[in-house]
Structure 1
Amino acid sequence: MRTLIRGGRVVTAGDDYTADVLIEGERITQLGANLLVPADRVIDATDRYVLPGGVDTHTHLASPSAGTVTCDDFFTGTVAAAFGGTTTIVDFATQFAGVPFADAVATWEANRTGKAVIDVGFHLAVTDLEGGGGVDALAAMVDAGVPSWKLFMAYKGAIMVDDDTLLRVMQTAADAGALVLVHAEHGDAIDVLTRQALAAGRTGPDQHAATRPPEAEAEATNRAINLARIAGCDLFVVHVSCGEALASIRRAREAGWRVWAETCPQYLFCDESQLSLPDFEGAKYTFSPPPRHVSNQPLLWRALADGALDQLTTDHCPFRWADQKAMGRDDFSKIPNGAPGIEQRLMLAHHFGVREGRISLQRMVDVLSTTPARLFGLAPRKGSIAVGADADVVVFDPAREHTISAATHHSAVDYNLYEGMTVVGAPETVLVRGTPVIEQGRLTVGPGHGRFVPRAPFRAGTTHVAEGAVA
């Protein structure tokens, strides 16, 4: 099957030009102006952007947590991703106590098989090093195509690891060619503050932020950075939410230390005041780290522009408000932590980032596609419009208006953090390995189109300098 995308504005992290894109089978085979080639399918991209498919390296689909399971499985979650212009995700396979590492990944692969409509890779979330098989079994995960391992420095008594485990996993990663990711919050401090709040009768969602202050995130971020330095390990800090944590990352990078980081849309658009909304509406904003004071938002936007933050991912971890979030109606510590957003990432970045002058169009592509693919072992197949790459392509209408709403989104969650926002710019056609999965607002493939994508060992050869940043 030959597909020709004709006359679009091709935008990558490094280029911006008008061209035709020829796809043969699953790969891009030619780029050029006015290609005179026969094609089985022609897509008119006049006045459209032609973007590499989004790569979201932080999602939680069909994931057990807090006595329940995230409400998007690998079908509904990847359908929502596709409608939002994301063609590859890397989800977290959580290894619970006593479960071998390979079995944890196998469980997530079984959940994915026959359901995903886009391509999927996995991180391994390590919670029990010895129960998983020890450092040798962990190192073997690199050869299994899972070269990134996450450690939680919070959630004491559940999935939090101690510093002994943190350091040993980091040392193993340094030797094995893996990248360590950390959820950086001081779990012991949060545990003390939570118990004190509940003892004093403070049980509402507003206490979620009060018991997880920015200092707890900053301390854990700084500790993880220094332990990674001791171990000789490359480090990736997930969901950075505040200026205090960002300052530690900037210092490390200015010193030339191998530290990367992301933020998420919820930290750019939500703030701590929303936790105090009446009638338990604040529970919708219980994600960790919590939403911060609004003054942090311009700091995070600036860091995305200047390269101090490398990626904009979603941390899509959806729980229904009506029944799942309601588990903590009388005790904020029992509200399942997580927020939806897998479908809105590109539209929000384009409207509020590019159109409002915070980041360039090329920088948007970089933080949504190119750098995630490069850092997480998916390049050169994913993350760019280039000859030989997978034909993961988004034809994007930069003039189309779209109002975000739970009534029209494709996730199984019953609310939307960005309800009522009108954005300009939305995906029109989305291809995964050359096959249209979204056309004119319709899903055009069935469950199981997506594949598991094994990823290459981590290699540090990327730069901290942001190309195309807007001052």
Structure 2
Amino acid sequence: MKTLITGGTVVSSTGRATADVLIDGETIAAVLEPGSQLLGSDLKASVDTVIDASGKYVIPGGVDPHTHMEMPFGGTNASDTFETGTRAAAIGGTTTIIDFVTQYPDQNVLDQYHLWHEKAAGNCAIDYGFHQILSDIQDASLTAMDELVNEGVTSFKLFMAYKGVFLSDDGQIFRAFQKGAENGALMMMHAENGSVIDVLVQQAITAGNTDPVYHGLTRPWQMEEEATHRAIMIADVAGTPLYFVHVSAKQAVEQIAAARHRGSNVFGETCPQYLYLSLEDQLGAHSDQWGDFEGAKWVASPPLRSKHEGHIEELWRALRTNELQLVSTDHCPFCMKDQKELGRTSFAKIPNGIGTVEHRVDLLYQAVATGKLSLERFVEITSTTPARMFGLYGRKGVIQPGADGDVVVYDPNGHTTISAATHHMNLDYSAWEGFEIDGRVHTVLSRGKVIVDDGRYVGAKGDGVFLKRGLSQYLV
């Protein structure tokens, strides 16, 4: 099959131009001046499909490097399967996810990796790769890191929170960082001081403060800043690059920026919830009451920060200045019924997570529409940088000959209203209910196949394949 996307404005991280994109089979064959001929023939007459992108942007498919499909947490599992979650991602303009293989202390790392393959294989609508979560680092974990790098799993996530579940102590973190420095893996960190947070949580519960908003109040920004600084210092000694997931506090951004200014190979992502939502949203429909369980919809870790402390403005600034490099979703959805409701008597029992995989591209495009981001920076943080950061660039994250035919035709004159009534995630509410987007995903191609046509999903279960990733292209 040959497909020609014609008449659109092709946008990269470095510029834009009116051009035609020719896809031959699964890969991009050429990016041509409008009306160009190929071997003396009229291109439109020599291809199987022509997609008219006039008045629209032609951008590389989104790469969401932080999802948790089917993740077991808090006595339940994330409500999106690999089938439902990747279908929703596709409809929203994302053509690649990198999901986290979950390993708890009593589980074998490699067994969990193979289990994730069983969950995903034959079920994904789009291409996918894996990161590996490591909890309670032991000698076997370090050996597994080498084996997984050879399998194309080249990034590993550690935790400074969730004692008895995910937390590794500083010595274990240091050993894992040393292994990363040795084998070239990119080390990723959930940076919150879990020991102090656990005390604050218990004190709140003892005082009878059990409503959802106390989830955020017991995880103050100081604990994210402290853990961020501590992780950077450990990485400095170990000599490893370091990537911070879901940065939510402006003070954590300052620690990352300071390390980068010193020349350290330190990176950070943030998520749409920290760019648009605030702690005050957890007050629910009654802003003068602290007892509204609707706030459970926005329980995630790190928590939403207070809109009065300047975090949102600083995160946008950091994205513009490259002190933060990209935006992921940390997609980990739990339904209100039977899942979030597990914490109705105590915020500490509410499963942590928000569902956003369908909306990331739209929410970031809205920043273009309102002047917060340039069109090129929008492409950079949603596609190009995550592809480079996680060893996929050249194949993903760019529209150029030889790249996979992962292309989104985005209509800036379209409109999107986000609602649980119309979204495609397996989720009974929307954290983004009523958000209006001045743009719309029109067409999505994954490796040359149209999987979304005029906003309608036309792909199939199993269209996606596993991606064996190389090392990060940001490592020095």
Structures share a fold, TM > 0.5? yes
One-letter code of the match for 1:281? E
1:298 to 305, 310, 313: 313
1:98 corresponds in structure 2 to 106
Residue 422 (1) aligns with residue 430 (2)? no
Residue 205 (1) aligns with residue 212 (2)? yes
8 A contact 1:396–1:425 mirrored in 2: yes
Alignment of 1:173-212 (within 5 A): 173-212=180-219
1:287 corresponds in structure 2 to 300
8 A contact 1:98–1:128 mirrored in 2: no
One-letter code of the match for 1:384? V
One-letter code of the match for 2:268? A
* CA-to-aligned-CA distance 1:165-200 (integer Å, 9 cap, x gap): 111110000000100000000000000101111111
2:27 corresponds in structure 1 to 27
Shift of 1:137: 2.1
8 A contact 1:177–1:459 mirrored in 2: no
Shift of 1:101: 2.0
1:253 corresponds in structure 2 to 260
C-alpha separation between the residues in 2 aligned to 1:69 and 1:427? 29
2:397 corresponds in structure 1 to 383
8 A contact 1:170–1:228 mirrored in 2: yes
Shift of 1:459: 4.1
C-alpha separation between the residues in 2 aligned to 1:270 and 1:459? 32
Shift of 1:415: 1.1
* Secondary structure in structure 1 of the residue aligned to 2:305: coil
One-letter code of the match for 1:17? A
* Secondary structure in structure 1 of the residue aligned to 2:138: coil
C-alpha separation between the residues in 2 aligned to 1:247 and 1:130? 32
Shift of 1:97: 2.0
One-letter code of the match for 2:408? V
8 A contact 2:212–2:282 mirrored in 1: yes
C-alpha separation between the residues in 1 aligned to 2:147 and 2:446? 29
Shift of 1:159: 1.2
One-letter code of the match for 1:373? A
* Secondary structure in structure 1 of the residue aligned to 2:415: strand
8 A contact 2:124–2:463 mirrored in 1: yes
Give the gaps of 5 or more residues in structure 2: 38-42, 285-290
One-letter code of the match for 1:292? R
Residue 150 (1) aligns with residue 163 (2)? no
8 A contact 2:88–2:357 mirrored in 1: yes
* Secondary structure in structure 2 of the residue aligned to 1:18: strand
8 A contact 1:266–1:291 mirrored in 2: yes
Bigger shift: residues 398-407 or 155-164: 155-164
Residue 108 (1) aligns with residue 116 (2)? yes
C-alpha separation between the residues in 1 aligned to 2:228 and 2:319? 18
Residue 313 (1) aligns with residue 320 (2)? no
C-alpha separation between the residues in 1 aligned to 2:409 and 2:200? 48
2:377 corresponds in structure 1 to 363
One-letter code of the match for 2:294? E
1:440 to 430, 454, 457: 454
One-letter code of the match for 1:307? N
One-letter code of the match for 1:299? E
Shift of 1:130: 2.4
Give the gaps of 5 or more residues in structure 1: 463-471
2:40 corresponds in structure 1 to none
Shift of 1:99: 2.5
C-alpha separation between the residues in 1 aligned to 2:370 and 2:77? 37
* CA-to-aligned-CA distance 1:309-347 (integer Å, 9 cap, x gap): 000110000000122000000011000001111111111
C-alpha separation between the residues in 2 aligned to 1:6 and 1:237? 39
Please, what TM-score do these two structures have when normalized by structure 1? 0.96
One-letter code of the match for 2:261? E
* Secondary structure in structure 1 of the residue aligned to 2:413: strand
Shift of 1:461: 4.8
8 A contact 2:265–2:475 mirrored in 1: no
* Secondary structure in structure 1 of the residue aligned to 2:100: strand
1:236 corresponds in structure 2 to 243
C-alpha separation between the residues in 1 aligned to 2:346 and 2:165? 17
Shift of 1:104: 1.2
* CA-to-aligned-CA distance 1:33-82 (integer Å, 9 cap, x gap): 11332100000000010000000000000110010000000011001100
2:288 corresponds in structure 1 to none
Percent identity for Structure 1 against Structure 2: 47
2:69 corresponds in structure 1 to 61
8 A contact 1:95–1:128 mirrored in 2: no
1:343 corresponds in structure 2 to 358
8 A contact 1:316–1:342 mirrored in 2: yes
Please, what TM-score do these two structures have when normalized by structure 2? 0.95
1:9 corresponds in structure 2 to 9
C-alpha separation between the residues in 1 aligned to 2:283 and 2:18? 48
One-letter code of the match for 1:74? F
C-alpha separation between the residues in 2 aligned to 1:245 and 1:445? 40
* CA-to-aligned-CA distance 1:234-261 (integer Å, 9 cap, x gap): 1000111011111101110111110000
* Secondary structure in structure 2 of the residue aligned to 1:8: strand
Shift of 1:157: 2.1
C-alpha separation between the residues in 2 aligned to 1:376 and 1:357? 28
Q: How many residues matched?
A: 460
